[in-house]
Amino acid sequence: MTGSPLIRALDRVGIVFLVLLAAIAVLVPLGNLLVPPSSPWHVSLYFVSLFGKYVCYAILALAIDLIWGYCGILSLGHGAFFALGGYAMGMYLMRQIGTRGVYANPILPDFMVFLNWKELPFYWNGFQYFGYAALMTVLVPGLLAFVFGWFAFRSRVTGVYLSIITQALTFALMLGFFRNNFGFGGNNGLTDFKDILGFNAQSAGTRSALFAISVVTLALAFYICRAIVSSKLGKVLIAIRDAENRVRFLGYRVESYKLFVFTLSACMAGIAGALYVPQVGIINPSEFAPGNSIEAVIWVAVGGRGTLIGAVLGAILVNYAKTTFTSGPLAPYWLFVLGSLFIAVTLLLPRGIVGTVAHWWQERGGKKRGNGVAPAGVADPHPAE
C-alpha cells in the first residue's frame, strides 16, 4: 500500500478496524449522554462501564499477542504488569479523596488510619499529581519487565521455563500485596474513589469519557503493534519466534530484541490497568492471581494469536461470555466452560477465530488467483507452538 508511512503500516482490514474503533469511541458516549433513556438507541451506563472494562482487557490481550504471537514469548505473568499499572492509578485516586474519607485525614488514606500508620510511606509521595501517577503506570511495569527480561533473556531462558518463571513472578507479587504492612491496603486493596482530575468518578460524563479514552488508547496500541510487526523489526521478531538459534547465528542480538518487545508489552499492560481501575472502582491483590494471566492468554488463543485483531476480539468475546455465565445459574460451571473452550479451540481452531478465517480466505484467494500470497498482518502460529 502506497502513501505515508502511517498508512503503509496498515492493511485494509487494519484501517477498517481503526475506523470502527473511532466510531465506537464517539457514538457510544453520545448514545449514553445525549439520547434519552426511553429511546431504543440509548446506551446504558452499565453498558458503558462493562464494555469499558472489556476494552482495557483488549489492550492487555494486544500486549500478550505482540510477544506471544510474533516473538514466541509465552508470558503467564502479564497480569502483574496490568495490576501494577492499576495500583499506580489507584494510589493517585486515593490521594484525591483527602478529607472526604471516613476518617477525614487530609494525607493518609482510610486504611492507613485504620492500621495506625503515623505517616505516609515515601513511595506514596508524588501520587497526588496525575502526571506523576500516569508516568508511574508506565515506568513501574516497564522497569520490572526490563530487569526481569534482562536476566531471563541473557540467561537464554525460553519456552515453558520462562512461562513458569513469569507465573512465579506474579504469584510472589500477589503474596506481597496481600500483606497489610506493604502499604497498599492488604487484601481489601484500594477503593472508594471520589474523583479523577476534579471530575466525579461515578458520573455518567466521566464514565463515558473514560470509555472513549480507553477505545482511543486501544486504537493507538493496535497501530503501534501493527507498525512494529510490519516493519523490519517485526520480521526479525517473527524470525526469532520461528528459529531463534538461526537468527542468533546470523549475528542478531536476540536478547535485545526480546527485551525491547517484552518491556513495551509490559508498558502497554500497565496502561490498560491504569484505565481499568477508575472504571471498575477498585484494585486489590486478586488482580495479580496467576489465573488471571492464564485467562488472558486464553483470550488471545481464542481470537487468534499473531493477528492482533484476534486478540481484541477474543478478549471481548470471552469476557462477555464470562459475564453472561457468571450472572446466572451457570456461574459455578464457568471455569469448566472456559477450559472446554480452550481445549476446543486448540483442537479444532488452532489458529483461533480470526486466524482461521484469514487462512480460509487466503486459500480461497489462492485458488482463484493461482498463488498463495498470505494476507498482511497474520502470522502463522504453528512454529511457536
Domain boundaries, the chain: 5-384
Query: For residue 187, with 0-12 CB atoms within 10 Å meaning exposed, 13-18 middle and 19 or more buried, which class applies?
Result: exposed
Segment 286-299, tens digit of pLDDT: 999 999 999 999 99
**Whole-angstrom distance, CA of residue 374 vs CA of residue 289:** 38
Segment 192-222, tens digit of pLDDT: 999 999 999 999 999 999 999 999 999 999 9
The total of other beta-carbon atoms located within 10 Å of residue 327's CB is 9
**Whole-angstrom distance, CA of residue 278 vs CA of residue 301:** 28
Please tell me the predicted confidence (pLDDT) of residue 150: 96
**Whole-angstrom distance, CA of residue 313 vs CA of residue 218:** 12
**Whole-angstrom distance, CA of residue 98 vs CA of residue 373:** 60
Please tell me the predicted confidence (pLDDT) of residue 368: 64
Please tell me the predicted confidence (pLDDT) of residue 206: 96
Burial per residue of 6-32, b for 16 or more beta-carbon CB atoms within 10 angstroms, e otherwise: eeebbbebbeebbeebeebbeebbebb
CA 39, 57, 68 angle in degrees (round to 5)? Answer: 145
Three cell numbers, residue 280: 471498575
Does residue 382 carry a pLDDT above 70?
no
Q: How far is CA 159 from CA 46, 60, 152, 210, 314, in A?
A: 41, 21, 11, 37, 23
376 pLDDT tier (thresholds 50, 70, 90): very low
Please tell me the predicted confidence (pLDDT) of residue 333: 85
Residue 290 contacts residue 76 (beta carbons within 8 Å): yes
**Whole-angstrom distance, CA of residue 15 vs CA of residue 12:** 5
Does residue 264 carry a pLDDT above 80?
yes
Under DSSP, is residue 125 helix (H, G, I), strand (E, B) or coil? coil
Please tell me the predicted confidence (pLDDT) of residue 217: 98
The total of other beta-carbon atoms located within 10 Å of residue 206's CB is 17
Residue 70 contacts residue 234 (beta carbons within 8 Å): yes
Q: What DSSP state is assigned to residue 123?
A: G
Please tell me the predicted confidence (pLDDT) of residue 36: 93
Segment 108-154, tens digit of pLDDT: 999 999 999 999 999 999 999 999 999 999 999 999 999 999 999 99
Paired residues of 190 in beta bridges: 283
Residue 44 contacts residue 207 (beta carbons within 8 Å): no
Mean pLDDT of 233-254: 94
Residue 123 contacts residue 184 (beta carbons within 8 Å): no
Please tell me the predicted confidence (pLDDT) of residue 363: 80
**Whole-angstrom distance, CA of residue 350 vs CA of residue 362:** 16
**Whole-angstrom distance, CA of residue 128 vs CA of residue 267:** 21
Please tell me the predicted confidence (pLDDT) of residue 221: 97
Segment 48-97, tens digit of pLDDT: 999 999 999 999 999 999 999 999 999 999 999 999 999 999 999 999 99
Percentage above 90 pLDDT, the chain: 77
Query: For residue 328, with 0-12 CB atoms within 10 Å meaning exposed, 13-18 middle and 19 or more buried, which class applies?
Result: exposed
Please tell me the predicted confidence (pLDDT) of residue 367: 66
Does residue 44 carry a pLDDT above 90?
yes
The total of other beta-carbon atoms located within 10 Å of residue 100's CB is 11
Does residue 381 carry a pLDDT above 70?
no
Angle separating helix axes 232-242 and 204-229, nearest 10 degrees: 80
